[in-house]
Amino acid sequence: MVHLTGEEMSFDKPIFPPGTATLLDELDKKLMVLLRDGRTLIGYLRSVDQFANLVLHRTIERIHVGNEFGDIPRGVFIVRGENVVLLGEIDNEKELSLPLVEVTVDEILDAQRREQEAKQEHDKLLAKALKERGLRLIPDLSHDDMF
């Protein structure tokens, strides 16, 4: 059992139990949300429920390829809680000082397509080389539903 003295207790902020209730402190803040499918969303948290479902306002989808990024405006975005991998507040000062180059949506989508094609070609060559040696390639399941 934990006993708190008067100095350790603070009545300024309500104490929430761990879990989705702690997201209430993040309301109206600019957050980055990483989804299970690998997408990155940035927006203002407007609502959250007991299942950690989120409503983001003024949302953008940020795509990174190398040291470049592009933002696709998405507006109001509802995220099912089970799809959230990571959620954190954005520090505007640090965001501006990142060594990344912003490019247009068309440029970043083209770069993403080229990166995905290169990865697929690499995976084909790797699978062929392993098959010749009597092994098989186990596909990367990091962005698939593993639960």
Buried b / exposed e over 114-123, threshold 16 CB at 10 Å, is eeeeeeeeee
Question: What is residue 6's predicted lDDT score, i.e. its pLDDT?
Answer: 54
What CA–CA distance (Å, rounded) separates 113 from 111?
A: 5
Percent of the chain at pLDDT exceeding 90? 56
Query: Nearest to residue 108, comparing CAs of 74, 66, 73?
Result: 66
Q: How many CB atoms lie within 10 A of CB 45?
A: 22
Model confidence band, residue 135 (pLDDT cutoffs 50, 70, 90): confident
Q: So where are the chain's domains? A: 20-103
Question: What is residue 146's predicted lDDT score, i.e. its pLDDT?
Answer: 47
Lowest mean pLDDT of 18-27, 36-45, 95-104, 122-131, name the range. Answer: 18-27
What does the DSSP 8-state code read for residue 83? G
Question: What is residue 24's predicted lDDT score, i.e. its pLDDT?
Answer: 84
For the structural domain made of 20-103, what CATH number should be given?
A: 2.30.30.100
pLDDT digits (tens, 9 = 90+) for 35-82: 999 999 999 999 999 888 999 999 999 999 999 999 999 999 999 999
pLDDT of 114 over the 60 cut: yes
Q: Where are the beta strands (DSSP E) in 93-141?
A: 101-102
